Amino acid sequence: MFAGTDGEYDKLYRYCYFKLHNVQAAEDITQEAFLRLIENSRYKEIKNPLAFLYTVARNLCTDEYRRKKTVEIPEDLPADSHEDKIIENISLQTALDQLTDKEREIILLRYANEVPVEDIGKIYGISRFAVYREVKKILKKLEGRLSYE
Amino acid sequence: MNKPGKKDLQDIRKYFEAPEPQGKQGFLQKVSQIPVYAPGKTSIAYITWVQFSYISKWLWVLSAFIFVCIFISSRYIAEDMLWFLSAALPFIVTFSLSESMRSIIYGMQEFEMSSRFTLKSVIMLRVIIIGGVNMFMLLVTAGLSGGGMCRNMLYMLVPYLSSATGGFIILRKFPAREGVYLSSVFGAVISLANLKSVYSYSWIYDTRYTGIWLAAIIVLLAAASYEGYKMADAIGSRA
């Protein structure tokens, strides 16, 4: 498929889990995104497979979220999912909790999944500079929260 | 926090930790058995040649005819004739634009889009090919004619590029078929304006104003390139 599929699977799954908080749905969407990448690679040249994967996963998560929104409660809510984790830096966790979903998503992509800035730009349809500005703004916000605590 | 430190990064990763995926190994194993039919690389030269072969031969015949007439008239016949022929240049633009829009006029855009390249790329490529060949013909004609012909080329490029810029804007704003009709009308207006200026405002062709003509060409060339790109982009997303 492309180099590092094994590692990217985990990262994409983490991204989907962050969006849906549902193990099964996150894994289904991760696999669907990879299958679509394989399918599309058959007839066209995909210049940036990483951005393709995240864009497909993001859209599928949005569809899934819309579909399930009114039907059922997610199997594990964000607050519960973090309860049983041993988090050494409570203040950073609190600061991250206070960010908006989109800001957390950018931090996840940039620092937890180490997605290059250019790819993040492609996922959101914005320029590299806009991503830099956004990341800087979020880090400043985090710093503000940390110093406040 | 300018950049998270090692410890911060660990904490961030821990914060976003997800439960272990269940079907990862099985999925990766299955996926590795799927044969990959990756398309071969296609060179720009090959795509350009393919698009070149799709462009109607009549367009080249007509363009060549006009340029040969310009050359002959500038060399052997009265110079007045040259202005009539230069007035014909906007019509080359009109034919070129309708040629670029052929796939949309005949409802072929879906077919073009189902190929490996987007409609935007195909239209851009056609505009570049046709515009490039016309410019090349114009330069060759100027080179062969020599002398004052080079300056005359400046005067000819202005109506040519004005028609192209206007045509691109019209095609972007109006549906394909209507856009081609309107750009033909626009080309005709530019052509008539060109003829009118030759007889009524001949002072603008004085050598003192050569710099202004050159500046106008640079501006129009930039405008035509920009509008050409925007037109292809708009048509690509409209289809």
What CA–CA distances, in Å, run from B213 to A120, B65, B82, B135, B188? 45, 26, 18, 17, 21
Best of A5, A15, A22, A27 to substitute, by most chain B Cβ atoms within 10 angstroms, is A27
Best of B8, B9, B10, B11 to substitute, by most chain A Cβ atoms within 10 angstroms, is B11
Residues 6+ apart with CB under 8 A from B78: none
What CA–CA distances, in Å, run from B235 to B64, B104, B161? 29, 9, 20
Please name the member of A30, A35, A87 whose beta carbon is closest to the beta carbon of B14: A87
Half-sphere exposure of residue B40, counting CA atoms within 13 Å on the CB side? 4
Q: Is the pLDDT of residue B149 over 50?
A: yes
**Residue contact A41–B38, C-beta within 8 A:** yes
Report whether A27 contacts A13 (CB < 8 A): yes
Report whether A93 contacts A82 (CB < 8 A): yes
Return mean pLDDT, chain B: 78
Cα(B12)–Cα(A123) distance, integer angstroms: 21
Nearest to B67 by CA among B89, B43, B47: B89
Three-class DSSP labels, chain B? CCCCCHHHHHHHHHHCCCCCCCCHHHHHHHHHHCCCCCCCCCCHHHHHHHHHHHCCHHHHHHHHHHHHHHHHHHHHCCHHHHHHHHCCHHHHHHHHHHHHCHHHHCCCHHHHHHCCCCHHHHHHHHHHHHHHHHHHHHHHHHHHHCCCHHHHHHHHHHHHHHHHHHHHHHHHHCCHHHHHHHHHHHHHHHHHHHHHHHHHCHHHHCHHHHHHHHHHHHHHHHHHHHHHHHHHHHHHHHC
Q: Is the pLDDT of residue A80 over 50?
A: no
Rounded to an integer, the average pLDDT of B43-63 is 78
Scan for tokens 């008539």, then name that residue: B192
Please name the member of A27, A140, A142 whose beta carbon is closest to the beta carbon of B21: A27
For residue A48 the two structure tokens come to 């940036």
**Residue contact B15–A93, C-beta within 8 A:** yes
Cα(B153)–Cα(A14) distance, integer angstroms: 63
Confidence of residue A57 (pLDDT cuts 50, 70, 90): very high
* Whole-number pLDDT of residue A86: 42
Min mean pLDDT across B8-17, B56-65, B147-156 is at: B147-156
Q: Is A96 helix (H, G, I), strand (E, B) or coil?
A: helix
The distance of Cα A127 from the centroid of its chain, to the nearest Å, equals: 18
Cα(B1)–Cα(B11) distance, integer angstroms: 14
Cα(B35)–Cα(B55) distance, integer angstroms: 37
* Whole-number pLDDT of residue B206: 79
Q: pLDDT tens digits for B87-100?
A: 777 777 777 777 77
For residue A81 the two structure tokens come to 């999912």
How close, in Å, is residue A64 to chain B by CA atoms? 18
Scan for tokens 């996922």, then name that residue: A123
Straight-line distance from the first to the last Cα atom of chain A, in angstroms, rounded to the nearest whole number: 46
Cα(B128)–Cα(B111) distance, integer angstroms: 21
A35 contact residues in B (CB cutoff 8 A): 31
Q: Is the pLDDT of residue B36 over 80?
A: no
Nearest to B48 by CA among B130, B161, B167, B134: B130
Q: pLDDT tens digits for A85-120?
A: 444 456 778 888 888 989 999 999 999 888 999 889
Best of A28, A32, A42 to substitute, by most chain B Cβ atoms within 10 angstroms, is A42
pLDDT over 70 percentage in chain B: 81
How close, in Å, is residue B95 to chain A by CA atoms? 32
Please name the member of B7, B18, B116 whose beta carbon is closest to the beta carbon of A14: B18
Confidence of residue B171 (pLDDT cuts 50, 70, 90): confident
Q: Is the pLDDT of residue B222 over 80?
A: yes
Report whether B82 contacts B74 (CB < 8 A): yes
Cα(A17)–Cα(A27) distance, integer angstroms: 8
Nearest residue of B to residue A41, measured between CA atoms: B38
pLDDT over 70 percentage in chain A: 79
A124 close contact with B: CB closer than 8 A: no
A126 close contact with B: CB closer than 8 A: no
Min mean pLDDT across A82-96, B21-35, B76-90 is at: A82-96
Return mean pLDDT, chain A: 80
How close, in Å, is residue B110 to chain A by CA atoms? 16
* Whole-number pLDDT of residue B139: 76
Q: Is the pLDDT of residue A40 over 80?
A: yes
Q: Is the pLDDT of residue A16 over 90?
A: yes
Taking the whole predicted model, whether its pTM rises above 0.90 is answered as: no
Nearest residue of A to residue B41, measured between CA atoms: A45
* Whole-number pLDDT of residue B91: 76
Scan for tokens 């940036």, then name that residue: A48
Element (H, E) at A97: helix A90-97
Q: Is A85 helix (H, G, I), strand (E, B) or coil?
A: coil
A39 close contact with B: CB closer than 8 A: no
Nearest residue of B to residue A147, measured between CA atoms: B1
Please name the member of B2, B9, B22 whose beta carbon is closest to the beta carbon of A111: B9
* Whole-number pLDDT of residue A15: 93
* Whole-number pLDDT of residue A85: 45
